[in-house]
Amino acid sequence: MRALVAGPGAEGRFAEVPEPVPGPGQALVEIHHVSVNFSDLRHMGRLPQGTMLGYDAAGVVLRAAEDGTGPGVGARVAAFGAGAWAERAAFDTDSIAVVPEQVDLVRAAALPMTGLTALRSLRAAGPAPGSRVLVTGASGAVGRLAVQLARRSGAHVIASVSRPERAHLLPDTATVEVVVGLDGVEPVDIVIETVGGPTLVTAWSLLKPGGNLQSIGWASEQSATFPPNSTFSLGPAKSLNSFGDVAAPAADLAQLLALMATGELSVEIGRHGPWGDLEGAKAAQLDRSVAGKITLEVGQAA
């Protein structure tokens, strides 16, 4: 079968690879659509040549797991796992979730990595009704979902965007406080931080005593330099956590898909095209010329 693999340098290329052989707790999935994450592309050049690429996919179960777990043959599923950019893949059944009929597979494919990151970082931070939650890079794929999920918790959400024209990418801006940059933002209880660099340092300075900052992305090309004594705070301890837990995501994927099915959560698709156009998708992702997720249709030529 065909798959997209790491090529020389930071390139992706098509290759013929062996058919996946599912283990007892794995389902074999025919992949219809995949999505491109910033991290997929940024770190491609660090992978050994021939490594199968991608993590996010949606498709149909061809063979159910032998141990009886997970969805049956013919089920439409979203999946998260290494090597997802292929015609077929074997996924652990605790990494796939059935896609409700109200959700198309393109949007389902766009959900796993970004949705899991937003949901689980917020869960770890623990927003309460009335708490102040700052989301940086709020118009990005993770930020946009974090804004929606934080709003559902009853928190007061401050959505920070880099430029005024990016505010329209946020859903239902009437229910959140939209700011450009971080100047003038009052102290907050929680930060979901996706930008890194100087933004991380400023966001930390806005955190109240006892507050929590979840550092879940680093879109910036700059380092973060904290001024002397800026990590010291009187009162309850402030905390900064890195976050990347995507283990056993099936239940959380199902929760996110259910919210999509009822219209309580939306994913913006900025570009959808054939998987043969990986280089075009890569250029659009890295130069940020596309607002929203980039998805690819498996099996189509460029």
Domain residue ranges of the chain, discontinuous segments joined by +: 2-111+267-297, 114-242
pLDDT tier for residue 59 given thresholds of 50, 70 and 90: very high
Q: What is the pLDDT of residues 130-171, one digit of tens each?
A: 999 999 999 999 999 999 999 999 999 999 998 888 888 887
- φ and ψ at 162, to 5 degrees? -80, -30
Q: What is the pLDDT of residues 80-96, one digit of tens each?
A: 999 999 999 999 999 99
- Please report how the helices 250-261 and 112-125 are oriented relative to each other, as an axis angle in degrees rounded to 10: 100
Buried b (16+ CB within 10 A) or exposed e, 212-229: bbbbbbbbeeeebeeeee
When the pLDDT of each residue in the chain is averaged and rounded to a whole number, the result is 93
- Whether pLDDT at 278 is above 90: no
Strands (DSSP E) along 164-259, which ranges?
Answer: 177-180, 188-193, 207-215, 239-242
Beta bridge partners of 214: 192, 241
Distance CA 162, CA 178 (A): 11
Q: Report the percentage of the chain scoring pLDDT > 90.
A: 76
Q: What is the pLDDT of residue 287?
A: 77
Q: What is the pLDDT of residues 162-207, one digit of tens each?
A: 888 888 888 777 789 999 999 999 999 999 999 999 999 999 999 9
- Whether pLDDT at 301 is above 70: no
Fold match between domain 2-111+267-297 and domain 114-242: no
- φ and ψ at 212, to 5 degrees? -130, 135
- Whether pLDDT at 275 is above 80: yes
The Cα-based distances of 112 to 58, 65, 173, 175 in angstroms read 9, 21, 24, 25
Is residue 269 within 8 A of residue 297, CB to CB? The reply is: no
Higher pLDDT, 99 or 175: 99
Distance CA 8, CA 46 (A): 10
Q: In what order do the strands lie in the sheet with 239-242?
A: 177-180, 156-161, 132-135, 188-193, 207-215, 239-242
Is residue 185 within 8 A of residue 134, CB to CB? The reply is: yes
Report which residue type is found at 62.
Answer: L
- Whether pLDDT at 55 is above 80: yes
Fold (CATH) for 2-111+267-297: Quinone Oxidoreductase; Chain A, domain 1 (3.90.180)
Most confident of 40-54, 156-170, 211-225, 272-286: 211-225
Out of 3.90.1310.10, 3.30.930.10, 3.40.50.720, 3.40.50.300, which CATH number does the structure's domain 114-242 have? 3.40.50.720
Across the range 279-295, mean pLDDT stands at 83
Sign of the C-alpha dihedral, residues 258, 259, 262, 268? negative
Q: Give the max Cα distance, the chain.
A: 59
- Whether pLDDT at 245 is above 80: yes
Q: Which residues contact 199 (CB under 8 A, 6 or more apart)?
A: 136, 137, 182, 193, 220
Q: What is the pLDDT of residues 100-137, one digit of tens each?
A: 999 999 999 999 999 999 999 999 999 999 999 999 99
- Whether pLDDT at 288 is above 90: no
Report which residue type is found at 225.
Answer: T
Residue matched to tokens 């880099």: 162
- Whether pLDDT at 302 is above 60: no
Structure tokens at 302: 């460029």
